[in-house]
Amino acid sequence: MRQNLILTFIGEDKPGLVESISAVIKNHDGNWLESRLSQLAGQFAGIIQIGVDTDQADALINSLQGLKDQGLNIVLKEGAETRDTSIVTHKLTLLGLDRPGIVKDVSSALSDQRINVLELNTNIVKAAMTGEPMFEAEAIVEYAASTDLMVFAEQLELISAELGIDIELDD
């Protein structure tokens, strides 16, 4: 029988971190399924979904915990097996002058409508003409098919106008 493990880690960025983690997973016949890895401000962080036979799980967990000796902070959790098929996903994109509160205001609108953020990627880029810092974000959101998207769209329009940012909700 297989089980899913979710590994999160963070440590000082250096060559060989991904190789070290992947070697431990392979040595226990684990399967690297999905992941998001990124370097920010000299730190390398990630989240990995690992499939492993139940009889190998404890040994894999112990070996992954051993990566702490390489300076990684490690957290492991058991992952769920299935996703709800009555859930709808959309892509949300934002672009506007950077200012505090953009993520808070947009996430409040999402939360108010019981819309869940599956992925969020943000960046600060320079505006082409002025060089001013621009906040850009791309999110994958999910919600129940019964969610009132008209109310949510109205909230996004209000936030867009209030913060002077462009917000698009794509299919």
DSSP 52-86: EEHHHHHHHHHHHHGGGGGT-EEEEEEPPS---TT
Q: Evaluate if residue 141 carries a pLDDT over 90.
A: yes
Question: Within a 10 A sphere around the Cβ of 39, how many other Cβ atoms?
Answer: 11
Q: Reply yes or no on whether the pLDDT at 84 is more than 70.
A: no
Tokens of 158: 């209000």
Binned at pLDDT 50, 70 and 90, residue 82 comes out as low
Residue boundaries of the structural domains of the chain: 2-78, 87-170
CATH topology of domain 2-78: Alpha-Beta Plaits (3.30.70)
For residue 25, the model assigns a pLDDT of 98
d(CA 100, CA 104): 8
Judge contact between 87 and 144, C-beta under 8 A.
Answer: yes
The CA-based dihedral angle spanning residues 130, 132, 138, 144, taken in that order and rounded to the nearest 10 degrees: -110
CATH number for 87-170 (one of 3.30.70.260, 3.40.980.10, 3.40.50.10860, 3.40.50.720): it is 3.30.70.260
